[in-house]
Structure 1
Amino acid sequence: MKNMLRILFILLAIIVIALFAFTALVKNEVADMLNPLIPKTSVYVKIDGTAKEMEGPRYEYTLSGYEKSGDVRTVTFSASKKLREGAYIRLTTKRSYVKEWEEVPYDTIPEDAKEKL
């Protein structure tokens, strides 16, 4: 019985380690969404009117965005409506996964990101 529990524990540990390794090494939206070790960050973008119309009433945007530190990132996200040109958007991201977006006033954007927008 002790050997059986030991083997079960070892197998369970291997599975957990494999799952964490997979989500840490594979860089795609699904892995980023599921990985609890990736922190959420805010990325700020300015809508420039380059929306790509997708199937159904969805629009895809690929823009340069800035973290609060001013670091640049290219982000791709979609919206169910065409966003207003010139609008400032805060994206909540986990690496390449964009969890949500919201329009924000210019004066709420951190200074380092504001300088680059």
Structure 2
Amino acid sequence: MKKLGIGLAAAVLIVFAGLFALQKTTAGLTPLSDNFLKGLPVEAYYVKTTDAYEKLWNGKYRYTFTGYEKTGNKQKIVRVMDRKLRAGAYLKMYTVGTYGKGWIEIEREEVPQGALAEMK
């Protein structure tokens, strides 16, 4: 019975260590579950970058953006980048829920007015 308890404790410890590692090396658990489990559609949001990011232990950068769709509806977006982004740039982010799947830098003039009005 004692061996079963030790084995169960070890299994729980391994699961928590794995969850911690996922949180610290990826966009986080919620965005990953949005991407893989929920089957949400890919949507486009517009963001203005800042110099706020979290440097991960693996050398990557985790950004949390506030994105706006073309009508101005707001969405939190988390994306892990291989490099730092230039502050003040405008991005078109393709998202699944809160997970940023892809992005492209665009000019301010390309941001829809509904989204631009909310980016104050």
TM-score between the two structures when normalised by the length of structure 1: 0.68
State the SS of the aligned residue for 1:100: strand
1:79 maps to what in 2?
81
Residues 74-94 of structure 1: per-residue CA shift (max 9 Å, x gap): 111111000001011111011
Shift of residue 97 of structure 1? Answer: 2.2
1:90 maps to what in 2?
92
| CA distance, structure 2, for counterparts of residue 30 and residue 76 of structure 1 | 10
2:61 is the counterpart of 1:59: yes
1:14 maps to what in 2?
none
How many pairs does the alignment contain? 91
Equivalent residue for 1:105, pick from 83, 104, 107: 107
Residues 52-80 of structure 1: per-residue CA shift (max 9 Å, x gap): 11122311111211111100111111110
AA at the equivalent of 2:81: A
**Contact 2:94–2:100 (CA under 8 A) maintained in structure 1:** yes
| CA distance, structure 1, for counterparts of residue 55 and residue 90 of structure 2 | 20
1:6 maps to what in 2?
none
Structure 2 spans left out of the alignment, 5+ residues: 1-28
Distance 1:84 1:30, change over 3 A: closer
Name the larger-Rg structure.
1
Structure 1 range deviating more: 28-37 or 82-91: 28-37
Distance 1:33 1:102, change over 3 A: same
Structure 1 spans left out of the alignment, 5+ residues: 1-26
| CA distance, structure 2, for counterparts of residue 74 and residue 29 of structure 1 | 10
| CA distance, structure 2, for counterparts of residue 114 and residue 82 of structure 1 | 23
2:52 maps to what in 1?
50
